[in-house]
């Protein structure tokens, strides 16, 4: 783990009691699973399957919250809430806003995974 990664993921390190090996192992899992969840989320939103989008969004939020509890992960909650409420326009807007930031976070997690 680089010093830059230690600083970037300092809160995540705190959540795993400073154990870099555990964080790197969790990063490998997240780096493997997150792209598929993001793809599923994209598909469900495109197909207006909002109940499924809410489920996948919730799973993605849980997976990524080990690494980040603020933005962009926190921005998944409005998307999930809108999907549960059946508000297609808000889901689409929230998704368009958060998607690029999530991709960046997943890229950072992938680099942490090695």
Stretch 52-56: mean pLDDT? 98
The pLDDT assigned to 111 comes to 97
Residue in the structure block whose two tokens are 């600083």: 7
Q: Is the pTM of this model over 0.85?
A: yes
pLDDT bucket at 57, cuts 50 / 70 / 90 = very high
pLDDT bracket for residue 114 (50, 70, 90): confident
Alpha helices in the chain (DSSP H): 3-8, 10-15, 20-46, 50-64, 76-85, 88-113
């Amino acid at each position: 783990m680089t010093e830059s990664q230690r600083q970037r993921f300092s809160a995540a390190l705190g959540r795993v009691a400073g154990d870099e090996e555990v964080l790197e192992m969790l990063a490998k899992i997240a780096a493997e699973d997150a792209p598929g969840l993001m793809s599923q989320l994209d598909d469900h939103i495109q197909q207006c399957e909002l109940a499924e989008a809410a489920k996948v969004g919730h799973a993605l939020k849980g997976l990524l919250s080990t690494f980040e509890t603020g933005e962009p992960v926190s921005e998944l909650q409005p998307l999930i809430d809108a999907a549960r409420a059946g508000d297609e326009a808000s889901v689409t807007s929230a998704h368009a806003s958060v998607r690029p930031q999530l991709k960046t976070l997943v890229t950072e997690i992938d680099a942490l995974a090695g």
